[in-house]
Amino acid sequence: MKSRPFIVFFLCIVFFAQSQEDENPPLPRWSDADAERLLQGENLISDALFRPISEEELAAPVMDGLSLPEYMAELLDVGDPSEIAEEDLVKYFDQKPKSFLTDPQKLLSRQEYRDRLSFLKYHASDSKVGFYVYVFDTKQIIPPNIRAEDVFQRCFADSGPTVLLFYFMGAPERSIIHLSPDLMTAVGRAESARARQSAVNQASVKSQAVDQLDGFCVQMSIRIYWMEKALEAGVIAPPEAEPQAKPEPAHKKYTEMMRHWWSEWNVPFCISVAVLLVGGLFSHWRRSRRKYRLPVFPVAVRLGGTQAAGVGAVISFAHANRPAAAQREQLPEDLGIL
Amino acid sequence: MKCPRCVQKIHRGAESCPRCGFSLAHADAQFGTVKREMPALADRAGLMRLAERRRVQSAMDRFSARFPELFFAVYTGVFQQSESLRIFGFWLLNRAVFEDLDEVKNDAGIALVIDVERKSASISFGYQLDAYLDEEDTYQCLCKAHPHWLEGKYDLGIVALVRMLEKILQRKCLQAQRDPRKFARKVMPPQWESLVKRIKQGNQDEPQGEEEDNP
């Protein structure tokens, strides 16, 4: 009797299958004529498969560029990658964001959005400093008329210490951090810049854009923790010294000075150089055509020579190993030394 | 002033060398007494080609243009072992007649003698240059030519020698115009009478040399 439930179950299944079978159309059955034809070797498949295609069907369809479907036209119209749509700007900055992660352009997938948001919520539960992240595309540029101070004033005036992060997907080095005034007073601009840079470094080690955002947010959260400590301790960041202009390299100063001098004195300089050149050439020409007349002195005749008796040097050029310098001392030629 | 044979100093106006007894008569005995006519550039040894001779001739012409009262002569030849270049140069300036030089006398000449056989060269000069040239000056001129002659480039050597000679004479000319007495003392005996006269007059002398530009 223990098998009775099984039998009942089996009968139910059979009944159910039968009922399904009744709902479905009946399976085709071979007719006797078809069976006979098949046994004789005839082809029972329809001839439609082997019907020759007419030339009209072979002709390629005419492609008309103007007749693109509408969605293709929309796809081709990409637009400027650096622009943010007006409606998105409204969603970004017109009111205080409803969550810690603002992504009206849907740059993150749903799951990615949830994961990042969960971390930001965890941070919010553990810190009094609000951390709001605005996500933008890689090449997008925030319009210059949107200032962080105005956003703070409009949306976060009564929110306490807050950190805003404008993050550009795939480009962590473009990220922008804004601290609320009280936080900036406690931390200082230098520390804020260091915090940003350390977060950028953490993000840069990742290859995927979403992972970069994750790394950035984590590092930023750690930095915010220390900022909060400083704020609670009442630390006031030392006043920053006025950024001194870098001393101009000496050669640039010299170049600038020379340029200024040249612009003022180029004409007189060129004229004086030309005058000196012409004068030098003229002087050289005059000297080349100059004639010299030696003063004549009466000289007594000697050795019987009525015209000349001047004896000069004798030099040998027979051997290269006997230079002229070695022949300075003049000796009589009959000594045979030459 | 030196003797061409023994190269010892002799007194101005000495009729013969007090050491070796040399005089022009000895040179005449060696080279002849008949005056020889020759061009200023006498390449008897055939050292230079036509183009090279022209180069040397143009250097000599430039010298004459710069120093209108002087001339430069070149003689190349083959000398025997016993023949001295100094003596030949001394004899040449006293006995040679340079055909292409009518207006200048031999005492205004500078002669370069080159011995092709023994590969040696010497310079001799006339009385007008006694005050301006000495052995050291001619040695400097020969040194300029020496490296060219070692390579067998006689024309380039002579041109370099002439240029050096021009420089030396230009410098001496300017010095002489500033201080002629310095050069006069070299060749003239001291003029005691005129010296006393100058002292009395307060050392006022008339300039003896002049410089002339090309018109």
Does residue A277 belong to any structural domain of this protein? no
Q: Which fold has domain B33-178?
A: Diaminopimelate Epimerase; Chain A, domain 1 (3.10.310)
Contact A310 B127 (CB under 8 A): yes
Tell me how far apart the alpha carbons of residues B66 and B71 are, in angstroms, rounded to a whole number.
10
Amino acid at A196: R
SS3 content of chain B, % helix, strand, coil (to 5): 45, 15, 40
Sort out which chain B residues have CB atoms less than 8 A from A306's CB and list them: 94, 107
Write out chain A residues lying below 8 Å of B16, CB-based: 303-304
| A246 pLDDT above the threshold of 70 | no
pLDDT for B193 equals 62
| A contact test, residue of B91, B127, B205 with most A CBs within 10 A | B127
> Which of the listed ranges A254-258, B91-95, B159-163 does the model predict with the highest average pLDDT?
B159-163
State percent of chain A over pLDDT 90.
32
pLDDT, mean of residues A155-178: 90
Work out the average pLDDT over B92-113.
Answer: 88
Enter the tokens of residue B215.
């018109």
Contact residues, B window 183-202, toward A, CB-based 8 Å cutoff: 183-184, 187-188
In order of A198, A221, A254, B178, the CA distances from A205 in angstroms are 11, 17, 44, 89
- Scanning B69-88 for CB atoms below 8 A from A yields 69-70, 81-82, 84-86
> Where does the pLDDT of residue A302 fall: very low under 50, low under 70, confident under 90, or very high at 90 and above?
confident
A102-158 pLDDT, tens digit per residue, is 999 999 999 999 999 999 999 999 888 999 999 999 999 988 888 878 888 888 888
Give the number of domains in chain A.
Answer: 1
pTM for this prediction:
0.50
* Residue among A294, A305, A325 whose CB faces B69 most closely: A294
List chain A residues with CB under 8 Å of B65.
291
Structural domain spans, chain B: 33-178
pLDDT on residue A174: 92
CB A158 within 8 A of CB A182: no
For the record, the structure tokens of A280 come out as 């030098």
Question: Rounded to whole angstroms, how far apart are CA atoms A112 and A131?
Answer: 18
The interface pTM score, or ipTM, of the predicted complex is 0.82
- State yes or no: pLDDT of A338 exceeds 60: no
With CB atoms and an 8 Å threshold, state whether A308 touches B106.
Answer: yes
pLDDT class for B210, splitting at 50, 70, 90?
very low
> B114 and chain A: CB distance < 8 Å anywhere?
no
Q: Which residues, including other chains, have CB under 8 Å from residue A57's CB and lie 6 or more apart?
A: none
Range of the domain at A122: 86-232
**Amino acid B53: pLDDT:** 94
Which residues of chain B does A316 touch, with a Cβ-Cβ cutoff of 8 Å?
118-120
Q: Residue B179's pLDDT is what?
A: 86
CATH number, domain of A149, equals 3.10.310.50
- Provide the mean pLDDT of chain A: 82
Query: Of A53-57, A71-75, B155-159, which range is least confident?
Result: A71-75
Percent of chain B whose pLDDT exceeds 90: 48
Contact between A311 and B124 under an 8 Å Cβ cutoff? The reply is yes
Tens digit of each residue's pLDDT (9 = 90 or more) over B134-172: 889 999 999 999 999 999 999 999 999 999 999 999 999
pLDDT band at B213 (very low <50, low <70, confident <90, very high): very low
**Residue B96 CB-density burial (10 A; 0-12 exposed, 13-18 middle, 19+ buried):** buried
- 3-class secondary structure per residue, chain A: CCCHHHHHHHHHHHHHHHHHHHHCCCCCCCCHHHHHHHHHCCCCCCHHHHCCCCHHHHCCCCCCHHHCCHHHHHHHCCCCCCCCCHHHHHHHHCCCCCCCEECCCCCCCHHHHHHHHHHHHHHHHHCCCEEEEEEECCCCCCCCCCCHHHHHHHHCCCCCCEEEEEEECCCHHHCEEEECHHHHHHHCHHHHHHHHHHHHHHHHCCCCHHHHHHHHHHHHHHHHHHHHHHHHCCCCCCCCCCCCCCCCCHHHHHHHHHHHHHHHHHHHHHHHHHHHHHHHHHHHHHHHCCECCCCCCCCCCECCECCEEEEEEEEECCCCCCCHHHHCCCCCHHHCCC
Is residue A126, in this structure, part of any structural domain at all? yes
A187 pLDDT band (50/70/90 cuts)? confident
**Closest partner CB to A295 (pick from B84, B124, B183):** B183
Distance (Å) from the C-alpha of residue B176 to the closest C-alpha of chain A? 7
Judge contact between B114 and B76, C-beta under 8 A: yes
